[in-house]
Chain A
Amino acid sequence: EDQVTQSPEALRLQEGESSSLNCSYTVSGLRGLFWYRQDPGKGPEFLFTLYSAGEEKEKERLKATLTKKESFLHITAPKPEDSATYLCAVDAGGTSYGKLTFGQGTILTVHP
C-alpha cells in the first residue's frame, strides 16, 4: 500500500527564519511527487512536481527536492503570508489513473 508521511505536523517560524518540511514516501513505483499549499477552507493549490531523484524545483522562497525515499520543501526567509498547510502527494503510477495519495500535511505558521 502506498504511504506518505509528513513531518513535522506543525512548524512555527519567525519571519526570516528558514527551515525545511519533510515528506517520506513508500510506493511501488513513483510517477510523480507533488507539493501543494492549502489555505483554511480552500482547495489544494499546486506548487511543484518532481519526477526523479536529484530533481529540484524553485519558486520564490520555496525549493523542493527529491530523493528515492523522501522529498523536502525548503522555505527560505519565510513571510507571514507563507503561513498555510503544505501537502505532499504521490502518484504511484502502475495501473492507477493518476490517483494521488496524500500525506497529512505540515501546518506552517510564520510570525512577524
Chain B
Amino acid sequence: EPEVTQTPSHQVTQMGQEVILRCVPISNHLYFYWYRQILGQKVEFLVSFYNNEISEKSEIFDDQFSVERPDGSNFTLKIRSTKLEDSAMYFCASRRGGGTEAFFGQGTRLTVV
C-alpha cells in the first residue's frame, strides 16, 4: 500500500541552525501539505502546495519557513533559523484531489535545544 515517507524520524538541532525536513508523498497525489503538532496540542496546518507553488499558508508559516519540491518525488520543509518554540512533530501529508482524504507520514520529531 502506498504511503507517505518522512525523514529523519527525529532531529535535534541547536537554536539558530537551519533544518530541512524531507518527505516523499504518494506518487499520484497532487496536493502536498505540512502540519505540525506541539506536544499535547492540536495538529496545526502550516502550508499547502499545489502545481509547484504555495497555495495557502498559515500565520505560523513566516519568512523563516520555506517549502520546495525539487524533483518529481521529494517535498521539503526548511526552517531557516530554528527557535525553541519550533520544537514539535512535523507531519507531511498528500492527497489525490480536493475533498479526498489526506494521508500522513509518520512525522519528524524536531527538538531545538
Enumerate chain A interface residues (CB-CB to B < 8 A): 31-32, 34, 36, 41-46, 49, 51, 87, 89, 91, 93, 95-105
Which DSSP category, helix, strand, loop or mixed, fits chain B's interface? strand
- Chain A residues closer than 8 Å to B98, beta-carbon distance: 31, 91, 93, 97-98
Taking a contact as CB atoms under 8 Å apart, the answer to whether B55 and A97 are in contact is: yes
- Chain B residues closer than 8 Å to A41, beta-carbon distance: 89, 107, 109
- Chain A residues closer than 8 Å to B42, beta-carbon distance: 102-105
- Chain A residues closer than 8 Å to B45, beta-carbon distance: 99-101
* B75 within 8 Å of A (CB atoms): no
Enumerate chain B interface residues (CB-CB to A < 8 A): 4, 6, 31, 33, 35, 41-45, 48, 50, 55-56, 89, 91, 93, 95, 98-107, 109
Taking a contact as CB atoms under 8 Å apart, the answer to whether B56 and A99 are in contact is: yes
Taking a contact as CB atoms under 8 Å apart, the answer to whether A43 and B91 are in contact is: yes
